[in-house]
């Protein structure tokens, strides 16, 4: 029996036309609420090119037809491909210093601290929150959500290459991670004590209704609203305000200031806001 001919991919033939790029922008806005700027065209091309290869397609037109097909199994992969997932342990450390103060104060009262990482990506943010709570000896729980199912799998697994944890102090690394041996050499895994504190789930911030969520003491909503238009930012902020208890904290990205316009928030640090009123 002769071997099947190997599929070859012609990069030059796979051009992303203006019309196709416009369709991509419409689809990602409809399915994820992400507003892609015209400057993201190269990013879209490079990321979707991988999906074309994975599906054995030779044109963006064919690929977009697949995405739009009723009940398509490619729609989730399309959203995953265009979701930006830049993260790191203790990224923007001033937020975790403020969280530690909050956690130490709460620990004295013994009441659990409920935290939500609502664009958790591959999990570093959520695990960092849990580390802070554990170090402060503050009982608590962390809900970690993302629209991207691929990164959620990585986050929930809690296994990382050692270079991803290179910025952590040795004592923190020893306390919260297990070092891989044998076939797992070069990997670290989150310890069970930390795993028990974090729950992962898929959630689309753009969805008209969210699953029932418990009131939160701390919400991390960082570097995600930049993909939403101003009207949705306002609606999202109102929903976050409703979820936060009075005195609760909202952490946003290093270039974001959208909570400043809401009367229910006051600045309490660099890109950090406290929920005031009820």
Cite the active site residues. Answer: 47, 146
β-pairing verdict for 140-146 and 113-117: parallel
**Gap between the Cα atoms of 214 and 278, Å rounded:** 16
* Burial annotation 189-226 (CB, 10 A radius, 16+ → b, else e): bbbeebeebbebeebebbeeeeeebeebbbbbbbbbbe
For residues 141, 143, 149, 150, the Cα torsion angle rounded to the nearest 10 degrees is -50
Gap between the terminal Cα atoms of the chain: 73
For residues 256, 261, 263, 269, the Cα torsion angle rounded to the nearest 10 degrees is 30
């Amino acid at each position: 029996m002769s071997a099947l001919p190997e599929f070859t991919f012609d990069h030059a033939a796979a051009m992303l036309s203006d019309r196709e790029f416009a369709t991509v922008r419409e689809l990602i806005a409809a399915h994820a609420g992400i507003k892609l700027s015209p400057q993201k065209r190269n990013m879209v091309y490079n990321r979707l090119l991988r999906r074309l290869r994975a599906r054995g397609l030779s044109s963006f037109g064919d690929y977009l037809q697949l995405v739009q097909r009723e009940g398509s199994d490619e729609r989730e992969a399309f959203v995953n491909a265009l979701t930006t997932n830049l993260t790191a342990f203790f990224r923007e450390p001033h937020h975790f210093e403020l969280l530690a103060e909050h956690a130490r104060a709460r620990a004295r009262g013994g009441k659990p601290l409920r935290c939500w990482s609502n664009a958790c990506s591959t999990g570093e943010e959520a695990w960092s929150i849990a580390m802070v709570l554990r170090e402060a000896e503050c009982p608590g729980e962390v809900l970690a959500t993302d629209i991207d199912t691929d990164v959620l799998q990585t986050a929930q697994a809690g296994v990382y290459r050692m270079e991803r944890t290179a910025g952590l102090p040795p004592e923190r690394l020893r306390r919260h991670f297990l070092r891989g041996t044998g076939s797992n050499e070069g990997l670290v895994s989150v310890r069970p004590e930390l795993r028990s504190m974090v729950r992962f789930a898929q959630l689309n911030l753009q969805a008209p209704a969210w699953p029932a969520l418990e009131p939160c003491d701390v919400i991390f909503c960082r570097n995600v609203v930049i993909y939403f238009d101003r009207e949705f930012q306002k609606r999202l902020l109102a929903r976050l305000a409703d979820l936060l208890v009075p005195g609760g904290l909202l952490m946003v990205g290093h270039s974001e200031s959208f909570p400043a316009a809401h009367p229910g928030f006051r600045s309490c640090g660099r890109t950090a806001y406290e929920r005031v009123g009820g």
